[in-house]
């Protein structure tokens, strides 16, 4: 027999989530080797996210089976009130498995998804939401312009040809292009070739135009977006769930492809408001001056291991060792 009454019955109000949920997917299986700075990168990322987003949000972190040290730090952040929703997975479900939980379960009307290695600049969230709410039938907005596969934004360009001003050319400055691609460990010589042979598509809506009469200023976006960082309506993302991926990574372009095939616009803001840190905080520490090559010339060993044949062989060995321990 029940003893007394549940005090919750007498509560008059309940907390309501913010309209926007920022959802971060994290995976740091150990804090050595490739992941030696993983926890530091995560800390820098979450701190920069909060500094000046331009709009209020709740933070949801999905940890995809990280090591105890990382989980303990996340729990402490949750207890300190800096993370509103924390999901700890016992196992690595892969990105697709994590997305199925995050994108379906985030409480906000708008979801701002990010990988855990993103550096944010002031206004990153408000600028993204402005494009999301100004353009019609937007699938996703990424807070940085960069060159993406044009096959994934054909629907965006087709729409713009009829409903906006669409310009084709090299609008993204080389420094902005190279800053991002360098963070992925790519080669500068090859990137200069790619930059000269590819282009951007700029879309402009006029003030108070037919498509967006609520626009207060001329709105400019670039065609393209990406699965590593984007803002979208939860109701839109629900149309593409679940994701059935049999690998932890490498199949996440399904979201880009499905949105384009369904006729959704995929847009990027006109200037860089997020940056990829990858697995190091060197960028934040100033090892790289923004848009400029590193001042220090790498040592002999560093240059040797970056030599393409050696780098390929060493990465293959590293990949095999990782599979033995963590597959």
The yes-or-no verdict on residue 324 having pLDDT over 70 is no
Instruction: Tell me phi and psi for residue 292, to 5 degrees.
Output: -120, 155
B/e letters for 275-292, b = 16+ CB within 10 Å, e = fewer, are bbbbbbbebbeeebeeee
End-to-end CA distance of the chain: 50
Q: Could you identify the residue written with the tokens 């690998």?
A: 247
Query: Of all residues in the chain, what percent carry a pLDDT higher than 70?
Result: 78
What residue ranges do the domains of the chain occupy?
A: 17-296, 297-327
Residues 303, 318: Cα–Cα separation, whole Å: 18
Q: What is the pLDDT of residues 39-75, one digit of tens each?
A: 999 999 999 999 999 999 999 999 999 999 999 999 9
Tell me the pLDDT band of 254, cut-offs 50, 70 and 90: confident
Q: What is the mean pLDDT of residues 265-285?
A: 91
Query: Of all residues in the chain, what percent carry a pLDDT higher than 90?
Result: 65
**C-beta of residue 231 within 8 angstroms of C-beta of residue 264:** no
pLDDT score for 103 = 95
pLDDT score for 72 = 97
Q: What is the mean pLDDT of residues 253-273?
A: 93
The yes-or-no verdict on residue 239 having pLDDT over 70 is yes
The yes-or-no verdict on residue 182 having pLDDT over 70 is yes
The yes-or-no verdict on residue 233 having pLDDT over 80 is yes
pTM of the shown model: 0.83
Q: What is the mean pLDDT of residues 28-35?
A: 91
Contacts 24+ apart (CB under 8 A), 236-242: 236/138, 236/139, 236/140, 236/264, 237/103, 237/111, 238/103, 238/104, 241/99, 241/100, 241/103, 241/104, 242/96, 242/100
Residues 10, 285: Cα–Cα separation, whole Å: 52
Superfamily of the domain at 17-296: Spore Coat Polysaccharide Biosynthesis Protein SpsA; Chain A (3.90.550.10)
């Amino acid at each position: 027999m029940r003893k007394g009454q549940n005090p919750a019955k007498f509560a008059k109000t309940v907390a309501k989530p913010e309209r926007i949920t920022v959802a971060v997917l994290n995976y740091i299986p150990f804090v050595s080797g490739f992941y030696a700075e993983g926890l530091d990168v995560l800390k820098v990322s979450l701190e920069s996210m909060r500094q000046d987003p331009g709009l209020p949000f709740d933070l949801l972190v999905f940890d995809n089976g990280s090591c105890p040290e990382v989980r303990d730090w996340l729990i402490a952040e949750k207890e300190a009130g800096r993370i509103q929703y924390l999901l700890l997975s016992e196992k690595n479900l892969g990105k697709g498995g994590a997305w199925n939980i995050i994108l379906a379960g985030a409480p906000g009307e708008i979801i701002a998804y990010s990988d855990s290695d993103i550096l944010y600049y002031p206004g990153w969230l408000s600028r993204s939401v402005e494009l999301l709410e100004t353009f019609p039938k937007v699938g996703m907005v990424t807070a940085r312009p960069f060159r993406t596969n044009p096959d994934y934004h054909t629907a965006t360009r087709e729409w713009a040809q009829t409903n906006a001003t669409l310009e084709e050319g090299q609008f993204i400055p080389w420094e902005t292009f190279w800053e991002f691609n360098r963070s992925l460990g790519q080669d500068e010589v090859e990137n200069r070739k790619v930059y000269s042979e590819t282009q951007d598509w700029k879309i402009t809506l006029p003030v108070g135009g037919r498509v967006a009469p609520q626009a207060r200023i001329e709105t400019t976006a670039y065609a393209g977006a990406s699965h590593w960082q984007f803002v979208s309506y939860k109701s839109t993302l629900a149309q593409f769930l679940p994701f059935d991926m049999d690998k932890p990574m490498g199949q996440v372009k399904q979201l880009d492809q499905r949105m384009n095939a369904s006729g959704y616009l995929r847009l990027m803001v006109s200037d860089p408001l997020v940056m990829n840190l990858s697995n190091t905080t060197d960028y934040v520490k100033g090892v790289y001056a923004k848009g400029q090559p590193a001042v220090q010339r790498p040592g002999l060993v560093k240059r040797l291991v970056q030599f393409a044949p050696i780098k390929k062989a060493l990465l293959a060995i590293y990949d095999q060792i990782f599979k033995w321990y963590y597959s």
